[in-house]
Amino acid sequence: MKLSFSAEDEQFRNEVAEWMANNLCGEFEPIRFRGGPGDEHSFVEERKAWEQKLAEGGWTAIGWPKEFGGRGASIEQQVIFNEEYARAGGPGRVGHIGETLTGPTLIAFGSEAQKAKYLPGIRAGKELWCQGYSEPSAGSDLANVKTKAHFDDAQGKWVLNGQKVWTSLAHESEFCFVIARTDPASKGQKGLGFFLVKMDQPGVTIRPIPQLTGTSEFNEVFFDDAVCDADDIVGEPGDGWKVAMGLLGFERGVSTLGQQMLFQSELDEVVRIAKRNGAADDPAIRQRLADAHIGLRIMRYNSMRMMSGGEDGSLQKEAMIYKLYWSSWHRNLGKLAMDVLGPEAELLEGEPYELNRLQSLFLFTRADTIYGGTNQIQRNLIAERALGMPREPRGAN
Partner 1 sequence: MEFSFTDEQTMIFDTAEAFLGEVAEVASIRKSMETNTGYDPSAWDRLCQEMYWQAILIPEDNDGLGLGAVELVGILERMGKKLYNGPFASSAAVTLALAKWGSGDQKSTYFARLMAGESATIAVIDQARAWSAEGVSAQAVQTDEGLRISGKYRFVQHGHTANLILVAARAPGSSGQDGVGLFLIDADAEGVIRKRVPTMDQTRPLAEVQLESVLVQPEQCLGCVGNSAPALAQLLDIQAILVTAEQLGGAQASLDMTVDYLQERVQFGRTIASFQAVKHKCADMMLKVEASRSIVYYAACVIDEWLSDRYDANQLAEAASMAKAYSSDAFFFVAGCGIQLFGGVGITEEYDIQLYFKRAKATETFLGGGAAHRERVAQMLLAGEC
Ligand X SMILES: Cc1cc2nc3c(=O)[nH]c(=O)nc-3n(C[C@H](O)[C@H](O)[C@H](O)COP(=O)(O)OP(=O)(O)OC[C@H]3O[C@@H](n4cnc5c(N)ncnc54)[C@H](O)[C@@H]3O)c2cc1C
The set of catalytic residues is 251
C-alpha dist (Å) from residue 75 to 71, 129, 324: 12, 24, 23
**Does residue 167 belong to the site contacting ligand X (CB under 6 A)?**
yes
Q: Which of 16, 61, 307, 367 binds ligand X (CB under 6 A)?
A: 367
Q: Which of 189, 265, 356, 374 binds ligand X (CB under 6 A)?
A: 374
First to last CA, the chain: 49
Residues 216-255 binding ligand X (CB under 6 A) are 218
Interatomic CA distance for residues 384 and 392, integer angstroms: 9
- What, of partner 1, ligand X, none, does residue 304 touch, CB below 5 to 8 Å by kind? partner 1
Q: Based on the number of CB atoms within 10 Å of its own CB, is 14 exposed (0-12), middle (13-18) or buried (19 or more)? A: exposed
Q: Which three-class secondary structure state does DSSP give residue 3?
A: coil
Which residue's Cβ lies closest to ligand X? 139
Interatomic CA distance for residues 47 and 49, integer angstroms: 5
- What, of partner 1, ligand X, none, does residue 293 touch, CB below 5 to 8 Å by kind? partner 1
- What, of ligand X, partner 1, none, does residue 133 touch, CB below 5 to 8 Å by kind? ligand X
Please answer whether residues 366 and 334 qualify as being in contact, where contact means their C-beta atoms are separated by less than 8 angstroms.
yes
Q: Which of 370, 381, 383, 386 binds ligand X (CB under 6 A)?
A: 370
DSSP string, 76-118: HHHHHHHHHHHHTTPPP-TTHHIIIIIHHHHHHH--HHHHHHH
Name 393's Cβ contacts closer than 8 Å, sequence gap at least 6.
none
Minimal distance in Å, beta carbon 381 to partner 1? 8
Sign of CA dihedral 181, 183, 184, 190: negative
Minimal distance in Å, beta carbon 300 to partner 1? 8
Q: Of the listed pieces 67-75, 162-170, 278-286, 345-353, which binds ligand X according to CB under 6 A?
A: 162-170
- What, of ligand X, partner 1, none, does residue 367 touch, CB below 5 to 8 Å by kind? ligand X
> Could you give phi then psi for residue 390, rounded to 5 degrees?
-60, 150
Q: Parallel, antiparallel, or unpaired for β 204-208 and 192-198?
A: unpaired
Q: Which stretches of the chain bind partner 1, using CB under 8 A? A: 1-5, 9, 76, 79, 271-272, 274-276, 280, 283, 286-287, 289-291, 293-294, 297-298, 301-302, 304-305, 307-309, 318, 321, 324-325, 376, 378-380, 382-384, 386-390, 392
- What, of partner 1, ligand X, none, does residue 291 touch, CB below 5 to 8 Å by kind? partner 1
When the beta carbons of 150 and 293 are compared against partner 1, the nearer one is 293
Contact residues toward ligand X (CB under 6 A) are 130-134, 139-140, 166-168, 218, 367, 370-374, 376-377, 380, 392
